[in-house]
Amino acid sequence: MTVDTSATGPVLLVSPREPSGVSWIINCLLELGIRVDLQPTVDQIFGIGQQPASAMWLPEADGRWRLHPRASALKKWLPILSREETVSFRPIAPILHVQRLPRRGEPCRQVILFVRDLRDALHSLYRRLQPEISWPEFVAWPHAETLLDAIDHWRLFMECWLERSPVFVGRFEDYKADARGLLERVLHVLGVDCTTNDITLAVERSSYAAAAAAEARYRQQHPLDAQVANRAGLVGEWKTVPDLQPTIEDIERSAGSLLKRLGYSVPNVTQPADSWTRLGITRELSSFSTLTLPERLRAVAESGPDAAAIDALRQWAEPLSPERLQQARLEAEESRLLLRHLQEFSEQYAPELAATLQATALALAEGSDFHLARIRALLLSRRRDSATEPR
């Protein structure tokens, strides 16, 4: 099936925050002259909702495009941006990449959803971020968008986007097994014709080796950037790490039926899990009315959370501090969204947390001592980076 060009709205390239191979397909599309606007990147550098995703590209006089300087970290993730100063795009509508839940009334011609076995994806994200919290704490950490833990947020994310139509699902495991074949299927969905040689070159220039080389070049100029962008992620790696197993059992209990729906083997799941004890908390968030949820899940959310879910989130939030947010390796905008949603939760269910949450929010606000200390540290790291750059 190809995109219905008579329909309104962009093609949405959708992925969860967990690694799923989406950087690979984005680089492939850019190599083929297909423009992709990355909303997560723009939200990170300008603030959530402050600029459209197109702000990441700056036009050149010759009709080509240059990456916005504030988005230069993408050179670590996308080899083409490390290799080329400017890029050219086909005269077709850009694709929009998002990592959030679908919005009500959001126009969309086609969804291309990239996924990965959650048992591998969560572990890969943990290894990538290298947070100063334990693996179980990482999985239990509330997602800023919904206040659900990592497992339930992933479930909600997938169920919401799988409801959209038309939707094409590309799996990380398919990319590992047959990268060219997956790219050709994506191009067929997009209705974009490319030559055999162009596809071959795009796959070669987007390989793990090419991405690792781009990251190495970036790290030579930014040696204090410790976050690993490219890991040689293996299919089924979760099976080889004994410390993960108790949490893997939680994933299979909660998300096993959904994993099976996506084509993953989960032998221990005999019936669908339908436990959404914390989903009702999202009802109290200001963003709830903007979300497109399947009717069944919206009904669960609107019934409100149970007492156990309220107590669990209240206890989790009590010791929260700026230092704790740093330990979790949250980006500044993600931390602010999390705090805003926790404040909305506390207004309804935990007013005793208001002072703690307000103090933490003020510490992260622009111009605060804590914020300025982080800026000074960043500037110091940049000075050190520039001192190591080749002249």
The verdict on residue 312 lying in a domain is yes
- Does residue 361 surpass a pLDDT of 50? yes
* Residue 320 domain boundaries: 306-391
d(C-alpha 317, C-alpha 1), whole Å = 46
What's the confidence (pLDDT) of residue 341? 96
Of the residues 203, 221, 239, which one is the last residue of a structural domain? 221
Q: What is the DSSP secondary-structure string of 247-281?
A: HHHHHHHHHHHHHHHTT---TT--S-----TTGGG
- Does residue 120 surpass a pLDDT of 50? yes
What's the confidence (pLDDT) of residue 245? 82
d(C-alpha 233, C-alpha 340), whole Å = 34
Query: Does residue 212 sit in the same domain as residue 322?
Result: no
Query: Does residue 179 sit in the same domain as residue 84?
Result: yes
Angle subtended at Cα 206 by Cα 234 and Cα 150, rounded to the nearest 5 degrees? 45
Each residue's pLDDT tens digit, 192-212: 999 999 999 999 999 988 887
The verdict on residue 128 lying in a domain is no
Q: Which amino acid is at 41?
A: T
The verdict on residue 296 lying in a domain is no
Each residue's pLDDT tens digit, 35-59: 999 999 999 999 888 999 999 999 9
Each residue's pLDDT tens digit, 95-108: 999 999 999 999 89
Each residue's pLDDT tens digit, 121-173: 999 999 989 999 999 999 999 999 999 999 999 999 999 999 999 999 999 99
Of the residues 163, 194, 221, which one is the last residue of a structural domain? 221
Query: Mean pLDDT over residues 319-345, rounded?
Result: 92
Query: Does residue 74 sit in the same domain as residue 192?
Result: yes
d(C-alpha 156, C-alpha 145), whole Å = 11
d(C-alpha 131, C-alpha 325), whole Å = 10
The verdict on residue 23 lying in a domain is yes
- Does residue 350 surpass a pLDDT of 90? yes
Please tell me the pTM assigned to this model: 0.89
The verdict on residue 363 lying in a domain is yes
Beta bridge partners of 171: 115
d(C-alpha 188, C-alpha 186), whole Å = 5
Q: What is the DSSP letter of 333?
A: H
What's the confidence (pLDDT) of residue 246? 86
Interior/surface letters 199-217, b for 16+ CB within 10 angstroms, e for the rest: beebbebbeeebbeebbee
The verdict on residue 231 lying in a domain is no
The verdict on residue 33 lying in a domain is yes
- Does residue 375 surpass a pLDDT of 60? no
Average pLDDT, the chain: 87
**Better-predicted residue by pLDDT, 274 or 203:** 203
Of the residues 195, 221, 247, which one is the last residue of a structural domain? 221
CATH of the domain at 183: 3.40.50
Strands 110-115 and 11-14: parallel
Q: Count other C-beta atoms under 10 Å from residue 239's C-beta.
A: 13
Query: Does residue 50 sit in the same domain as residue 166?
Result: yes
- Does residue 252 surpass a pLDDT of 50? yes
The verdict on residue 279 lying in a domain is no
From the list 87, 107, 69, the residue with the least C-alpha distance to 26 is: 87
Query: Mean pLDDT over residues 175-196, rounded?
Result: 97
Query: Does residue 312 sit in the same domain as residue 212?
Result: no
Query: Does residue 215 sit in the same domain as residue 316?
Result: no
Contact 150, 330 (CB under 8 A): no
Q: How many domains does the chain have?
A: 2
